[in-house]
Structure 1
Amino acid sequence: MLRSLPRTPASARLCAAVAIALSATTLQAATTASDDAPADPVNLDSVVVIGVRPVSPLTFETDPRQPRQPMPASDGADYLKTIPGFTAIRNGGTNGDPVLRGMFGSRLNLLTNEGAMPGACPARMDNPLSYVSPDTFDRLVVVKGPQTVLWGPGASAGTVRFSRDREVFDAPTLKGSGSLLAGSDGRNDQVADATWGAPRGYARVSANRSDSDDYHDGHGDVVPSRWTKWNADAAAAWTPDADTLLEGSVGRGDGEARYAGRGMDGVQFLRESQALRFERRNLPGVFDGIEANVYRNRADHVMDNYTMREPNPTGPMPMPMASNVERLTTGGRAALSLSGERFDATLGFDAQDSRHRSRNGMGRNTYAAQPWQRDATLRDTGVFGEATWRIDDQARIVAGARADRATTRDERLVAGAMGMPNPTAGQTRRETLAAGFVRYEHGAAGQGLSWYAGVGQTERMPDYWELFSANRGPDGAVNAFAGVGTERTTQLDVGLQYRTARIDAWVSGYAGRIDGFVLFDYLPGGMMGTTTVARNVDANIHGAEAGMAWKPSMHWRFEGTLAWAWGENATEQRPLPQMSPLEARLGAEWDGHGRWSAGALLRGVARQSRVAPGQGNVVARDLGPTAGFGTLAVHAAYRIDDVFQLTAGVDNLFDRYYAEHLTLAGSAAFGYPADPVRIAEPGRTLWLRLGAKY
């Protein structure tokens, strides 16, 4: 069905070399450019997002409602790829699983509206960001590395927050935004967001729908990947004064997705969310403000092998089968902010309770008549504190610490495909976890040169997938629940940033040691053709990211980024699996400062030869080396008036055939060969978007 990938590392090397050269040219031109620069900094934002720059050390922030290129994102993981260092494990058209610097799963703390939505599928078919529609949120904030303790435990790779802003209105106001998108292979999206506000409160409603057929790869072959998803959220708030907010919100969503790389498809992604938050600012004395929130998120996910495909009579699931999994997560957080002449601090606590259950059925739609069986309960309670001390106008020290008490209870009565009694049924694991960091920052907040260096350490309880999804634990353990230990990361982060009116250039690097890294081995055999073993190894990691944005004139802007990640299994002296290859992006944007703008994005990915075949994580394993590739995307925009803007784009302009290194192998149910073949990415893709804001 699929042809082999071409070996094209030259394009990736060329793209990387041009990015480095352009960055060097930018820095060399800094003095010249600043001589005739205007007094105020030039706005370096763009109509279409092709890359995101740091707003402060290790922190990236962007508006996820802006269209991105390649085609505007269908899920949270897709949008994260605009931030250097992020990739995603691909399995077709939507719901990729995010990866930062080669780190996956709960090493990334993923939050929406300050609440957790971890998903229910034992293989992360419904990973947390599959429930996120980026263009219904106001803000995306990412902190890389273990360099904050404010938003939950673990987070050794980073913290990701999709959030909605609070609103303040001086007079009765109605405002809104929306968009319509049409693209190749039946892609069509609709988004609407409306807010009515007054000095005493506001009400907001947002909704979206996204739909696509199976896409075609660069050879014109159909890749099973169609999806439909929708979300609707509403919030109402009371604001008795400008400093006080009490807001309640509810949300619901659902969808379906066909997966070329899985034995089942997702035929239900039901999300139910409720939340309440309180904020009070400008308290007397050193107390700056207090904020608190509680939430309840429910994921009810159904997967089967008969709704969006036909069962494969020669495969591991020849008969119609379905599985219904549910995860109910409740939690809350409270934080007190303090502010003085030379310091700012935040103190608080958070808690989370997550309960997982499932039911299965042989035959079409028989699962609904089966009783639910709970298999796991996971809880965490933590306290934290983070502070900034301003030594002088140029120097700051930022530090934080937190302590967590994590418990996980195994409630499976039977384990494994054969239904054998579970040796750890009813047992509870309890761990006390510590985390902390300290970072020195030097440089003015505005233009000029600034730098930072920080060390962080965090300990992570193995997550649901590491304790319950693996078929076996390490040698000598009765199962993964009993045998997989905690994971502790110690990491150094350093960085440099240079800003002028025309230039924003930055570079960051990291090096870390992971004691007890949780690794999955894929062994032949088992009901699904493989057996997975979860165990701990020690690992070393390091890497770097760099980027620049240069505006030589009022009409032109150039930007480029590089991202490189390296990992080693120190226990076995071999590469760490699922590490992203070197990636470079080059962008150019023309803005007529009138109605027209246009731009282009060149993406180059190098060959990845450092692999560990047969090892990986709960979602994917290394299949072998991959060839490099390069793609070109172009876009243009026309501002119709103050309300409407029309944007059009072409992704993969030259219709290249390629596959990402981090991707699943095609399923035999769709005709892919038994020898693993990576899922190819979309070929040439056209899209047109009409956006409105009033």
Structure 2
Amino acid sequence: MKTLYSVLLCTLITAMSFGQEQNKTKVDTTKQKINKLDEVIITGNLKKDPVLTIVTNNYDKDIVQPKNVADLFNNINGFSVIKRGNYAIDPSFRASQYEQLNIQYDGGTKAMHACPNRMDPITTHIIPEEISKIEIIKGPYTVRYGATFGGVINMVTQKPDYEDYGLHGKVSAGYESNGNSLVNLAQLQYIQEKYDIVANAGYRDFGNYEDGHGTKIPSSFRSTDYGIKVGYNFSNDERLQAHWRQSFGRDVLHAALPMDTEYDNSSILALDYKLDNIGKVAKSLTAKAYYSYVDHLMTNDNRPSFMMMEAASGVDATTIGGKIELNWKPLEKLNVFSGLDAMHVARDGGRTRLVKIMNGNMLPTPMTFNDKVWQDSYITDLGVFTEAKYSINPKTIFTAGFRYDHVTSHIQDPEADFDALYDLNKRTEHNVSGTVSIKKKVTDNFTLEAAYGRGIRSANMIERFINHFTVGQDPYEYIGNPNLKAEINNQFEIGFKGKQPLKNGFNSFKYETSFYYSFFENYIVGVIDPNMTRKFNPMLEPTNVKVFQNINESYKTGFEAMAQVDFLNDFYFKAECAYVYAKNKDLAESLPLTPPFNTTLSLGFKKEKIWGNIQYNVVSKQDNISSSFGETETEGYQTLDIRFGVKPIKDITLGVAVINAFDETYNNHLNFSFTNQADFGRTPITEPGRNISAFLQYKF
């Protein structure tokens, strides 16, 4: 810990301006008002916003280097990422991850992964240049956006610039030296009073990166994306919008997974509708419907195991959902949101194995086996909710919410051995969750928030139905359990934030912190079953398997804190830190994937046409580990990042960055280990060494 506080140097800024000075024609002040959709959860309205939230920087105005979506979470306090390569990266918040986080686009659109090893998480189906900001609700403190266990993450895509009619657009290109990586994006928007259209297309080509020792990490990939968003305004108060996008991943190498992705194709369609100013009591009606389909093929063609067995696995995932919500005010001080939502996830697909060597002997004729991966399974969640906000006085808001989820799950084509383990009838669960909170603006410069949330998460499809596949950080085969109870998170949190004016060259002092405690019921983990053995490669260690089980006693606690001093009008110094401690009492160890304590120190400046920062990242050693999950202790590390952006002329933005300037060799505690790689043992994958990037954007 001393190392963490001995450092006080540096900064946070997300750099390059996608910001735009408006072209030519000024806004016609008589034009029709745009009825904005509920794509955004957090609006800066005390009477409507959820409690204990974060709104990240506007990335379309501050980007200074090409990124993937997961990189956008690296600079958000309290977040870490779970990395299996340069493509399959999941965000983790306060040691919650995967379906424990309610991750969505534009206030509700979802796209679930097809691969059981999460080669294609939701963050791979959209490019970072499309995201204008990320909104986070820190816990189960709202019931309006689907079943929520550990928090809500809403990635807001760019919307039309309603301030300027006509045709506008932008083109951008970026380069990263570590891997000779290229990114390109083109976007056009056409805005009229009655309708608007935004279209974009992007291409990314990332090579294998090198760590600080010069070791090349197999992590290359290519992806092509395009999307189109069309909106129509029926009147001042009524709007319909359609958003269609597709993403095509190709030749993706996964350093820490047993296979690579040949292709990953995703399609997402979302429809949004809003009717505003309905009447005296009923204020507005919103509706959303979405559909996503992911088609995924993975093989071991370029892996050491190919000499003994050829494997190809084609899997798919279909996600269908929607939501309808009424905002009504029965009393002047009472604002109520009531509605229902639905999400249906269905997966299927199998693996074909051509076995060439068995029990150490070459077979005269290879044998073909077909394994069912998802066993034609589905989970359907139908939810109904009401959330009320009561204004105790103009500066104090009390919120209470209630939610009921009817969850149905079924496996329709089970393997014979899985069928023999369980009674596989259709199962129905009834989950009740809720929240109460209070937000008080004590003064104009100080806000206090406190909340309790009961979040419930039914087991996901891997935890229910996976059958003898290695889906963890360790080499164990995992077996699902369709009888798992739903996880329950009872989370308490208190937070405050404020701002104080200063003198003598110092402009202001900003601060923000929150403390939380969660105790879990029925937490789901994989536990070794000494009575069951491996199904595939039975001669390999470990010979036993893990079966997903509920544990009785577990908890986590932690905090995030931020302090920032603005001085000399354009300069700032910012310090952030985050800590989480988790405990699995049943196994007397930590819960898995708990990040270590980390601190970020930033020194930077922001002017209209030039900005820059230096950021020093300090991550401590993590020795509070989950041995049963296959975790090992991770040493601490320190890295330095430098970013600089400039607008040399109108509509042109340039950015350069040096990431990991000291060329440090390190691995994040949440990184998975090399798997089935010719030149690597089973050790955690290392992060990129020094990386110099450049970015250019032109707006018109």
Task: Specify if TM > 0.5.
Answer: yes
- The CA distance in 2 between the partners of 1:137 and 1:472, in whole Å, is 34
Deviation at 1:460, TM superposition (A): 1.6
**Contact between 1:266 and 1:304, CA under 8 Å: does it hold in 2?**
yes
Once the two structures are TM-superposed, the CA of residue 638 in structure 1 deviates from its matched residue by: 1.6
The answer on whether the counterparts of 1:374 and 1:411 sit within 8 Å (CA) in structure 2 is yes
Cα distance, 1:168–1:649 mapped onto 2, change above 3 Å: closer
> Which deviates more, 374-383 or 524-533?
524-533
Deviation sequence 1:633-681 (CA, Å, 0-9, x none): 10111212231110000000010111100011112423212xx311110
Contact 1:108–1:157 (CA under 8 A) maintained in structure 2 = yes
For 1:521 and 1:99, the matched residues in 2 are separated by: 22
- Partner in structure 2 of residue 652 of structure 1: 660
Residue 435 of structure 2 corresponds to 437
TM-score, reference length from structure 2: 0.84
Q: Partners in 1 of 2:594 and 2:381 — Cα distance? A: 29
Match of 2:259 in 1: 264
Counterpart amino acid of residue 515 in structure 2: G
Q: Residue 542 of structure 1: which of 546, 550, 557 is its match?
A: 557
What residue is the counterpart of 1:608 in the other structure? 622
Deviation at residue 370 of structure 1 after TM alignment: 11
Q: State the alpha-carbon separation in 2 of the partners of residues 373 and 565 from structure 1.
A: 34
Q: Give the counterpart letter for 1:232 in structure 2.
A: Y
**Which residue number corresponds to residue 39 of structure 2?**
none
Name 2:396's counterpart in structure 1.
395
Is 1:186 paired with 2:180? yes
Give the alignment of 1:548-559 within 5 angstroms.
548-559=563-574
Partner in structure 2 of residue 457 of structure 1: 454
Q: How does 1:137-536 map to 2 (within 5 A)?
A: 137-153=131-147, 155-164=148-157, 167=160, 169=162, 172-184=165-177, 185-256=179-250, 257-306=252-301, 309-312=302-305, 318-339=308-329, 341-362=332-353, 374-414=375-415, 421-424=419-422, 426-443=424-441, 447-469=444-466, 471=468, 480-500=480-500, 502-521=508-527, 526=534, 527=536, 529-530=541-542, 531-536=545-550
Q: Deviations over 1:479-531 (max 9, x none)?
A: 63344221111110110101246232100010011011001236896336553
Q: Could you say which residue in structure 1 is the equivalent of 2:694?
A: 688
Query: 2:6 corresponds to which residue?
Result: 14
SS at match of 1:678: coil
* Equivalent position amino acid for 1:533 in 2: V
Query: Partner residue of 2:112?
Result: 118
Give the whole-Å Cα distance in 2 for the aligned partners of 1:563 and 1:657. 22
Give the TM-score of the pair, scaled to structure 1: 0.85
CA distance in 2, matches of 1:633, 1:101: 24
Distance 1:237 1:387 in 2: 30
Is the Cα–Cα contact under 8 Å of residues 454 and 492 in structure 1 kept in the other structure? yes
Q: Is the 8 A contact 1:332 1:351 kept in 2?
A: yes
Distance 1:343 1:167, change over 3 A: farther
2 CA distance for matches of 1:202 and 1:182? 32
The alignment partner of 1:117 has SS state of coil
Structure 1: which 5+ residue stretches go unaligned? Answer: 1-8, 24-43, 616-620
**TM-fit CA distance, 1:10:** 6.2
Please give the alpha-carbon distance, in whole angstroms, between the structure 1 residues aligned to 2:352 and 2:423: 23
- Cα pair distance change 1:244/1:600, threshold 3 Å: same
Query: Match for residue 575 of structure 1?
Result: 590
> 2:373·2:467 contact (CA, 8 Å) conserved in 1?
no
- 1:272 and 1:423, CA in 2 relative to 1: closer, same or farther beyond 3 A? same
Q: Which moved more, 1:232-241 or 1:506-515?
A: 232-241
* Mapped partners of 1:145, 1:503: distance in 2: 27
CA change 1:361–1:98 in 2 (3 A) is same
1:135 maps to 129
Question: Following the alignment from structure 1 to structure 2, what is the Cα–Cα distance between the partners of residues 463 and 194?
Answer: 39
Give the letter for the 1:669 counterpart.
Answer: Q
Distance 1:68 1:583, change over 3 A: farther
Query: Match for 1:91 among 59, 84, 106?
Result: 84
Aligned-residue CA RMSD (Å): 2.9
Q: Structure 1 residues 594 and 164 mapped into 2: Cα distance closer, same or farther (>3 Å)?
A: closer
Shift of 1:273: 1.4
Looking at structure 1, the residues matched to 81 and 100 of structure 2 have their Cα atoms a distance apart, in angstroms, of 14
State the match for 1:37 in structure 2. Answer: none
Q: Per the alignment, in what secondary structure is the counterpart of residue 463 of structure 2?
A: helix
Identity of aligned residues (%): 22
- Count of residue pairs the alignment pairs up: 632
User: Does the 8 A contact of 1:472 with 1:534 survive in 2?
Assistant: no
Map 1:634-673 to 2 at 5 A.
634-673=642-681
CA gap of 1:54–1:382, structure 2 versus 1, over 3 A, is closer
CA offset at residue 358 of structure 1? Answer: 0.2
Q: Determine the C-alpha separation between the residues in 1 that align with 2:374 and 2:246.
A: 24
Q: State the one-letter code of the partner of 2:389.
A: T
- C-alpha distance 635-420 of structure 1, shift in aligned 2 (>3 A): closer
**How many Å apart are 1:165 and its aligned residue?**
5.9
- Does the 8 Å contact 1:170/1:198 carry over to 2? no
**By how many angstroms is 1:11 displaced?**
4.5
Q: Give the direction of change, closer, same or farther, for the CA distance of 1:373–1:303 in structure 2 (3 Å limit).
A: same
What is the CA–CA distance in structure 2 between the aligned matches of 1:420 and 1:245, rounded to whole Å?
Answer: 49
Q: Is the 8 A contact 1:519 1:534 kept in 2?
A: yes
- Measured in 1, the distance between the counterparts of 2:574 and 2:85 equals 29
